[in-house]
A and B are shown apart, each in its own frame.
Chain A
Amino acid sequence: DSGVTQTPKHLITATGQRVTLRCSPRSGDLSVYWYQQSLDQGLQFLIQYYNGEERAKGNILERFSAQQFPDLHSELNLSSLELGDSALYFCASSSQTGLRNYGYTFGSGTRLTVV
């Protein structure tokens, strides 16, 4: 157990629907990062939060949004789902941000299948 908890582990939903992925960072970590891994692609950075504030954004679609709550857990909301959104979504946490980030602790991922 890495200490980063992601739920659910698996999700199957229909096109056009909306889902919420949840992440609880390792205790003491203030930064949360969301990554997407599609078939045959590397981990693609989506968005980063630090202590409740958005710090960096990657190629995140407008249909996707995220937030980090006061208790530091984060949610990634995916709406108007398309078949191409099927992927493994990872959450990672770290204690610092910026240049003081010396590495991530990853959750086990949420496997999203859009049918």
Chain B
Amino acid sequence: ILNVEQSPQSLHVQEGDSTNFTCSFPSSNFYALHWYRWETAKSPEALFVMTLNGDEKKKGRISATLNTKEGYSYLYIKGSQPEDSATYLCACATTDSWGKFQFGAGTQVVVTP
């Protein structure tokens, strides 16, 4: 079983501030890293999928980077807004995982006005 870890477990951000958090994963047999956004009472929604070392993806004010050699990904939120409040999940797929993902426990982000 892969050990996918996310830190911090939770963070509180003032509206307008930028923030970032980490997903770490074993680098052996790495295939893809996924980020999902999970709002309370809703289903997780896909944000990004990254496969190549050095990949950077951006969606509005949210962006992510990937370092497969050292086994980590950062997710950045620029100018946080209350609607960014959610739990952000990362998930790792390996070359031998047959399409199933190993999820981290998530980082809960609370943006206060």
Q: Which residues of A contact B (CB under 8 A)?
A: 2, 4, 31, 33, 35, 40-45, 48, 50, 55-56, 58-59, 90, 94, 96-109
Contact = CB atoms under 8 A, between A and B. Distances in A.
Interface residues of B, number: 26
Interface string B75-112: 00000000000000101010101111111111000000
A43 B32 contact: no
B21 interface: no
Given A31-B99, A94-B99, A42 B89 contact: yes
Contacts of B99: 31, 48, 50, 55-56, 94, 96-101
B31 A58 contact: no
Nearest to B104: A42
Contact of A45 (B42, B46, B101): B101
A42 B98 contact: no
Given A42-B89, A42-B105, A109 B43 contact: yes
Contacts, number: 68
Contacts of A104: 34, 36, 44, 46, 101
Interface of B: 1, 4, 31-32, 34, 36, 42-46, 49, 89, 91, 93, 95, 97-106
Top 8 A-B residue pairs of the complex, sorted by shortest distance between their CB atoms:
A101-B99, A42-B105, A106-B43, A43-B103, A97-B99, A42-B103, A56-B98, A108-B43
B89 A43 contact: yes
Contact of B100 (A45, A108, A109): A45
B54 to A, nearest CB: 19
B43 A102 contact: no
Given A42-B103, A43-B103, A99 B43 contact: no
Contact of B105 (A41, A101, A106): A41
B25 to A, nearest CB: 12
28 contacts: A2-B43, A2-B45, A4-B43, A35-B103, A42-B89, A42-B103, A42-B106, A43-B89, A43-B103, A44-B103, A45-B100, A45-B102, A55-B98, A56-B98, A90-B43, A96-B99, A98-B98, A99-B31, A99-B93, A100-B99, A101-B99, A102-B49, A103-B46, A104-B36, A104-B44, A105-B46, A107-B43, A108-B42
